[in-house]
């Protein structure tokens, strides 16, 4: 049975329920299986040995998700190649690919969790009422430990970019 966390976040001021466990700083980062823009499977293990910035967004095509992905794309471009960045949503890979092309996103790789929702469920970010991912930021170290985590309390708000980037810089 899937764990439910009622009222863990709000969406437009209304409490919603997150499905899955709460992944905390210091925990081993759960594996997941999502697909890239070419429909190829991608999981945490595919970037082992690197520092991972993993962001979750409800939909890449909305203003806050757009701004967040562009900001992290710009910031990750300034970091060493030892950092890999993923933005995960339930948008279809075709829509993600089109959005990335239009937005000039090259450093952040978009992944779709539409097939199995394993990222959403394993990281406790699937919003039960909306069947979308909550907005979150994880920094995972080279040994698969969660070094930083922010689950944005109000899904329509932006994350703390400076804190996430500072966590990455401590690891590289």
Q: Quick one: the chain helix, strand, coil %, rounded to 5?
A: 25, 30, 40
In the numeric block, which tokens belong to residue 159? Answer: 């994350």
Residue 20: name the closest of 37, 1, 47, 39 by CA.
1
* Positions marked catalytic: 65
Is residue 102 within a helix (H) or strand (E), and if so which, with residue range?
Answer: helix 93-103
Q: Positive or negative CA dihedral for 81, 59, 56, 90?
A: negative
């Amino acid at each position: 049975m899937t764990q439910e966390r009622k009222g863990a976040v709000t969406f437009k001021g209304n409490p919603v329920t997150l499905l899955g466990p709460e992944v905390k700083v210091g925990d081993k980062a759960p594996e997941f299986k999502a697909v890239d823009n070419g429909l190829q499977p991608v999981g945490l293990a595919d970037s082992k040995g690197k520092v991972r910035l993993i962001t979750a967004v409800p939909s890449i095509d909305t203003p806050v998700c757009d701004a967040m992905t562009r900001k992290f794309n710009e910031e990750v471009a300034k970091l060493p190649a030892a950092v890999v960045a993923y933005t995960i949503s339930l948008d279809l890979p075709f829509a993600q690919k089109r959005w990335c092309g239009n937005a000039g996103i090259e450093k952040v790789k978009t992944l779709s969790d539409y097939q199995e929702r394993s990222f959403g469920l394993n990281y406790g970010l699937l919003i039960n009422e909306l069947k979308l991912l909550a907005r979150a930021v994880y920094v995972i170290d080279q040994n698969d430990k969660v070094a930083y985590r922010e689950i944005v309390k109000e899904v329509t708000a932006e994350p703390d970019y400076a804190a996430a980037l500072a966590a990455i810089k401590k690891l590289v």
